[in-house]
Structure 1
């Protein structure tokens, strides 16, 4: 996936334009995730390369084993796909990451 935005990752304190949040929680097994939104999205970290995550204007593609990755976005969630290390899709594998979507979450 190619980056189309010159600064897709931002830690700006003004997140009024990104009122929603997606949280990806790893389950201890290498897994992949991808989601898109009908709006803009930004990763809530200083170093997305360290997190093995690609963020464009409205699509995120990454991997996770343990820990948590968070993103803020505008609009609605358009699509989501998760798969375990064998490529088995979400509902068929207990190893895929858990995804939480929260709308209208104020910045802490």
Structure 2
């Protein structure tokens, strides 16, 4: 789960901050410090569903801005997927919507 959470964060930050003429954002970039696998791992071990959702929501908001907001088709779809993720009450319930978000972000990158 931690790797999947980190991947979603990475894809969101790439979408928000990576420019064509710059070097790619990587997992060990300073920008990822609040979204590292270890940070998510701690939240998962604690069963902190709300904390996990907050971290992912921060990243998704950045990605939404990057695609033009919820008024654009890409933004509406991303917001719908994020809404399903936010509705999860356990870490197990997060899995399917999180994979959907990851796959969607990967497709639009």
Please give the TM-score of this superposition, normalised by the length of structure 1: 0.29
Question: Which has a greater percent of strand?
Answer: 1
Please give the TM-score of this superposition, normalised by the length of structure 2: 0.29
